[in-house]
């Protein structure tokens, strides 16, 4: 039994790296999600500059500002089943027709172009003369938009890979934390060097460049899945 378990560990552990390096869907969509997570980490690391220094908050109150992103994320999470129920009513899924994984991406297609808005909003309303609620509202919108992209992207991976989905998600998660954690080291010096306004502007520009990615998967996801050894085809 020990030998069998050790052999299984040796077989399973390299799979996330293999998926990220050989699976087109995971490489492209995973890279997109990593960049989005880097935006989140960069934003969170700047809260000391965005809220504490601008509004002279205590450390405790600054920490409570994180709740604005959490509330936004929770709102979309609670609404997600209802949103997808509406989407299914517009398809033949309820009559037993095949549901393509790309249908899962429509919330991301709608949300991705909105992602730069709260970043610009947060950066250029970050003045003591402007209410702190403006920044908190921007963080709320950021939370809604970001989780909409993540939920739909993860559902796309789940539908695309079926029984291989845990390995696919593990490969993205592993790379996401390694790379985004490294980018975090540069976020605080960036806030100190160019200030909150231009740091948020830079992040918003990155978000704007990434905005078409879900739509690209909507259009070309089937071809990427066809090139995969593990992903399901349209007829599966």
Structure confidence by residue, pLDDT tens digits, 195-211: 888 999 999 999 999 89
Confidence at 183, pLDDT banded by 50, 70, 90? confident
Structure confidence by residue, pLDDT tens digits, 144-161: 999 999 989 888 888 888
CA atoms within 13 A on the CB side of 39: 32
Q: Is the pLDDT of residue 60 over 70?
A: yes
Q: Which two tokens stand for residue 91?
A: 């398809």
3-state secondary structure 68-80: HHHHHHHHHHHHH
The domain segmentation of the chain, as residue ranges, is 30-226
How much of the chain, in percent, has pLDDT values that exceed 90?
28
Contacts of 149 (CB under 8 A, 6+ apart): 33, 36, 107, 108, 111, 112, 115, 214
Q: Which two tokens stand for residue 12?
A: 């399973």
Structure confidence by residue, pLDDT tens digits, 87-117: 666 555 555 556 778 888 888 998 999 999 9
Give me the CATH code for the 30-226 domain, please: 1.20.1250
């Amino acid at each position: 039994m020990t030998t069998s378990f050790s052999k299984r560990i040796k077989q399973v552990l390299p799979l996330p790296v293999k998926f990220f390096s050989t699976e087109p869907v995971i490489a492209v969509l995973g890279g997109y999600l990593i960049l989005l997570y880097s935006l989140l980490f960069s934003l969170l690391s700047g809260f000391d500059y965005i809220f504490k220094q601008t509004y002279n908050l205590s450390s405790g109150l600054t920490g409570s500002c994180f709740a604005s992103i959490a509330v936004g994320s929770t709102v979309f999470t609670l609404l997600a089943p209802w949103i997808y129920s509406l989407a299914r009513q517009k398809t033949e899924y309820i009559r037993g027709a095949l549901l393509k994984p790309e249908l899962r991406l429509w919330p991301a297609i709608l949300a991705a172009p909105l992602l730069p808005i709260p970043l610009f909003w947060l950066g250029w309303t970050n003045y003591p003369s402007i209410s702190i609620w403006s920044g908190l509202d921007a963080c709320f919108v950021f939370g809604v938009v970001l989780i909409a992209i993540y939920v739909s992207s993860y559902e796309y991976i789940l539908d695309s890979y079926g029984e291989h989905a845990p390995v696919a998600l593990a490969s993205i998660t592993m790379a996401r934390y390694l790379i985004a954690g490294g980018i975090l080291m540069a976020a605080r010096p960036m806030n100190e060097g160019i200030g909150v306004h231009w740091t948020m502007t830079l992040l918003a520009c990155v978000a704007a460049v990434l905005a078409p990615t879900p739509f690209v998967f909507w259009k070309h996801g089937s071809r990427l899945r066809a090139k995969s050894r593990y992903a399901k085809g349209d007829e599966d």
